[in-house]
Amino acid sequence: MKTWNPTEGEVPQKWWIVDATDKNLGRMATEIAQVIRGKRKPQFTPNADTGDFVIVINAEKIKTTGNKTVEKKYYRHSRFFGSLKAKSLEQMIDADPTFVIEDAVKGMLPKNKLSFSLIKKLKAYKGADHPHAAQKPEALTI
């Protein structure tokens, strides 16, 4: 008997929706990363994309514990001397709350070529509206 390893396209992909209102950023990101990677499915294969799509709404309403909103920093650098820019989590949520969620989930995915296709399965939106109603997403409880 041979072991069956699924390839891309053999495992059906579902769409899930997550409401980020009053959810802890880290705990929500770990659950989303597991769904995107496909670890909750019995057909999980580490070297194949067997995960589902995840839609996150109300990205601006996430919560964190402790003083992370003030102390956590996001850095940018353009490789020119003196061009290091830093923003706190609070400033990033005001500017682009979808980046905060995408960055947290991206940090929890494996660091390889597969993660580039996996992160594209995450769709984060500010507010409750999203353009993926045709996919009929189911609510993901976290």
Q: Evaluate whether residue 8 is within a structural domain.
A: no
Which residues, 6 or more positions from 27, have their beta carbon under 8 angstroms from its beta carbon?
Answer: 142
The count of structural domains within the chain is 1
Nearest CA among 17, 24, 25 for reference residue 56: 17
Spatial CA neighbour of 28 closest among 67, 73, 61, 52:
61
Q: Which domain holds residue 108?
A: 15-64+96-139
- Residue 81, classified by CB atoms within 10 Å of its CB into exposed (0-12), middle (13-18) or buried (19+), is exposed
Per-residue confidence band for 139, with pLDDT thresholds at 50, 70 and 90: very high
pLDDT tens digit sequence for 86-107: 999 999 999 999 999 999 999 9
Q: Does residue 5 lie in a domain region?
A: no
Quick: pLDDT tens for 37-76. Answer: 999 999 999 999 999 999 999 999 999 999 999 999 999 9
Bridge-based pairing of strands 53-57 and 15-19 is parallel
Dist. CA 17–CA 31, nearest whole Å: 12
**pTM score:** 0.93
Rounded distance, CA 133 to CA 11, Å?
Answer: 22
Residue 142 pLDDT? 84
pLDDT one-digit tens code per residue, 2-25 = 888 888 789 999 999 999 999 999
pLDDT, mean over the chain: 95
- In this prediction, residue 1 carries a pLDDT of 76
User: By the 8 A CB rule, do 100 and 88 touch?
Assistant: no
At 25, which CATH number?
3.90.1180.10
